[in-house]
Chains A and B, each alone.
Chain A
Amino acid sequence: MIYSEAGQLSTDYLHGASSFRLRQERLEVLALWLVAALVVPALGDDYWLTAILIPFLILSLAGLGLNLLTGFAGQLSVGSAAFMAVGAYTAYNVSLRLPGTPLLVSFAIGGAAAALAGVLSGLPSLRIKGFYLVVSTLAAQFFVEWVFTRFRWFSNDNASGLVSVPPLVVLGQDASSPLGRYLLTLGVVTALTVLALNIPKSELGRRWMAVRDMDTAAAVIGIPVLRTKLIAFAISSFYCGVAGALWGFAYLGTFDPRAWELSRSFQILFIIIIGGMGSILGSFLGSAFMLLLPIAMSQAGSALLGGSVDQGALENYKKVAFGVLIVAFLIREPGGLARLLRRARDRARIWPLRSW
């Protein structure tokens, strides 16, 4: 956690542009990943794996997707849940109607379908921006909900509208156990996170940030604004689509369109506000926070009141707590948890000296 970069100078551009420039950072990330991949499976029980870690990873991925769009490219979206639904239903229908398609391929097709939906809902950003875009993404949200509820073909003509996913087989291995689903999720999330770490350092990422900071100025220096925005929508929705497919396959197992209502979109937006906009790490921190806070509040509630907690009342207090947190973060720390962590780190590094 605490170290200095003394002596580790970048002597070439490649080193300077690497995601983890310092040896300590690389070791830290590697250690964290090894814990997630080796220690957690050995220690974690099924409750922790299925109820906390899997949704944590998937929501982090969805948050990552939205963060690419909102945090880096500056386009606000409240339709993330819709793109997740598109990803999940496409992956489901691919594995249903094209038997033999490898699971990961159907996830990728789900992501691609979500990317297409994202581009379509991003098209109006040619002429509109800011919160007008909220309207366009809300349209996507309601339209997608309606399509999957209304046309039963998507849920294989099941009368109840519920669909059950086929057994999960990845690379010839059965992944239906909680552990298998956890490792599947971890693998997909790791791969996409590595990709996402590199995007902000690429030319594309720089274009996104230019458009975010001022799109008129970006157009003046020769950045094709519409194309840049649409690519942001496509990549962001791809991430959301894969997250949706994972949510349906690895977390829920049996789902209907209500898994991706508007409140899910807000949840993902809150993840990036609290975690930190424009920060990859922030998506993970925010997702952990969003999942753990309600659990902590329930625990604290039952500890304080001795088991006789009124669930409805607790629900209201959770709502108020989230609202207050959102506002507090926007006011006090727009950089979110990621920024707070960074500041704590910088402070600890020079302790006991103070520079401010």
Chain B
Amino acid sequence: MAFFLETLVGGLLAGILYSMVAIGFVLIYKASGVFNFAQGSMLLFAALTFVSLTERGYSFIAAFILTLAAMVLVAVAIERLLLRPLVARSPITLFMATLGLSYILEGVAQALWGADVHGLDLGVDDVPFDIGSISVSRFDLVAAGTAGLLVLGLALLASRSRLGLSLRAVADDPLAALSLGVRLPAIWRRVWALAGFVGLIAGLFWGSRSGVQFSLSLVVLKAMPVLVIGGFDSITGALVGGLLVGASEKLAEVYVGAVLGGGIENWFPYFLAIASLMLRPAGLFGDRAIERV
């Protein structure tokens, strides 16, 4: 039982990291209806910029602020060069454009900072300690706490700020929001910058866990089932979906993977996602779409 609990808790905490990637995704989907495949590359871009700056002698705070500034620039460029010319095109076209965007971001990040693997130390030891009969990693707890703060912050932003109000308006009905004077391009810029910020936080945690390297951009493939299960347009969904995927993936790897010979964590979440799609196409917390002809 203790082993089961330990696996479960380990999975849940790993799931938090998936959630962090998924949250950036949800923000963009809500505001601009774009299924942003480049979220993983944004994460790579942010983490690589941050770690390269610290290696060049910048302090943690300075590197963080500079990276954030870079992500804002990226967001402005994306809005100007990608979203604006593609306005009112089909969602599939936008998805394919973000596929191209992910190639650009990966190429630029590696051309700027090199393709080496960088270590990243956040000053949080990855040491296990015991709670009752199960051992938990301190690093995972810090990540969980940060994710909690992030969600809290985003919830406050959405409910208490002017940006949040216009964001909710745009998510609800872009045309109505537009006619009420909400400036859509400005909202897009801010939301993509916000997603860049979330990407930076997620990139820091992923990077210090597995090294800052190209494979970071592949976490987007982990986030996809999370989104399907939680719903594309719900931050709560991203959080819950991440926990579900993390926990079930670890449990499946331990209990089912042993039978099948291991290595199932690449596809298992996807099968879970398809099963969930069959039962609830809009995801656990997503809005049910109504189709009109």
Chain A positions within 8 Å of B, measured between CB atoms, are 76, 124, 127-128, 130-132, 134-136, 138-139, 142-143, 145-146, 149-150, 214, 216-217, 220, 262, 266, 269, 273, 312-313, 316-327, 330-331, 334
Contacts and interface: CB of A to CB of B under 8 A. Distances in A.
Interface of B: 35, 81-82, 85-86, 89, 91-93, 95-97, 99-108, 110-111, 114-115, 221, 224-225, 228, 260-264, 266-267, 270-271, 273-274, 277-278, 281, 291, 293
B92 A135 contact: no
B112 to A, nearest CB: 9
Given A124-B274, A150-B263, A313 B111 contact: yes
Nearest to A136: B274
A119 to B, nearest CB: 15
Contact of A327 (B92, B104, B260, B266): B104
B293 A146 contact: no
Contacts of A150: 260-263
Nearest first, the 6 A-B pairs at minimum CB distance are A326-B100, A323-B103, A319-B107, A139-B270, A323-B104, A320-B107
Given A131-B35, A269-B96, A330-B96, A316 B107 contact: yes
A135 B274 contact: yes
Contacts of B99: 266, 269, 326
A326 B263 contact: no
Contacts of B273: 135, 139
Q: Name the prevailing secondary structure of the B interface residues.
A: helix
A132 B261 contact: no
Contacts of A139: 267, 270-271, 273-274
A124 B101 contact: no
B142 to A, nearest CB: 30
23 contacts: A124-B278, A131-B92, A135-B228, A135-B270, A138-B270, A139-B274, A142-B267, A150-B263, A269-B96, A273-B96, A312-B114, A313-B111, A317-B107, A319-B103, A322-B100, A323-B102, A326-B96, A327-B82, A327-B97, A327-B100, A327-B101, A330-B97, A331-B86
Contact of A326 (B81, B103, B270): B103
Contacts of B89: 330
Contacts of B115: 312, 316
Question: B92, B110, B260, B278: which has the most chain A beta carbons within 10 Å?
Answer: B92
A142 B93 contact: no
A141 B81 CA distance: 31
Contact of A132 (B100, B107, B260, B281): B281
A220 B281 CA distance: 22
A132 B228 contact: yes
Contacts of A138: 221, 224, 270
Question: B89, B102, B110: which has the most chain A beta carbons within 10 Å?
Answer: B110
A47 to B, nearest CB: 28
Contacts of A316: 106-108, 110-111, 115
B85 A331 contact: yes
A131 B263 contact: no
B108 A217 contact: no
Contacts of A323: 100-105, 107
B284 to A, nearest CB: 14
A319 B99 CA distance: 11
A76 B228 CA distance: 16
A124 B82 contact: no
Given A150-B263, A216-B291, A319 B95 contact: no
Given A216-B291, A320-B108, A323-B103, 15 more contacts: A127-B281, A130-B91, A132-B277, A134-B95, A135-B228, A135-B273, A138-B270, A142-B270, A146-B266, A317-B111, A323-B102, A324-B100, A326-B103, A327-B82, A330-B93
A324 B105 CA distance: 10
A124 B221 CA distance: 19
Nearest to A273: B96
Contacts of A216: 291, 293
B74 to A, nearest CB: 13
Nearest to A124: B274
A163 to B, nearest CB: 19
A316 B102 CA distance: 12
